[in-house]
Copies of this chain bind each other. A is one copy, B any other.
Amino acid sequence: MKAKNILLKYNLSITTGRLNILEIFLNNEMALSEKDIQDKLIGVCDRATIYRTLKKFKDTGIVHPIATEGMITKYVLKKEPEEHLHFKCTDCGKIMCLPEVQMKNYELPSGFTKKESNFLVIGTCNNCNN
């Protein structure tokens, strides 16, 4: 789907900043931080705009954050199935989704209820394993 259509679908106004940022996500398989995007939009988009856009995209459900042990929040476009594994490569540092891996169900202790999950596998990716 094209960037503009995504914004329309989610009822967000069409601005060049948002189109730029969405375009970057569409052309990138990996999870991206605010900084990653900043580096690709130097002089084009203000930091605050990127921050707020990412926040808006998260709230509307266009992207979702990936849980990592680090201090940086990284985002990826939402994809099917909604629940899927994430993978972090200790070699190249990239974080990506593995939507092809079938998720499994966990029985939580009594009293606990699940809303969502964020599973991260850490290791080396197919690209770094050669």
Interface residues of A (CB under 8 A from B): 65-73, 85, 87, 90, 98, 100-102, 104, 106-127, 129
Contacts and interface: CB of A to CB of B under 8 A. Distances in A.
Nearest to A58: B69
Given A111-B125, A118-B67, A123-B112, A85 B98 contact: no
A34 to B, nearest CB: 10
Given A68-B67, A101-B106, A122-B118, A111 B90 contact: no
5 contacts: A100-B109, A111-B126, A116-B122, A117-B121, A118-B120
Nearest to A90: B115
A24 B21 CA distance: 43
A117 to B, nearest CB: 5
B123 A110 contact: no
Contacts of A116: 121-123
Most buried by B among A65, A106, A114: A106
A124 B119 contact: no
Contact of A108 (B98, B110, B112): B98
Contacts of A100: 109
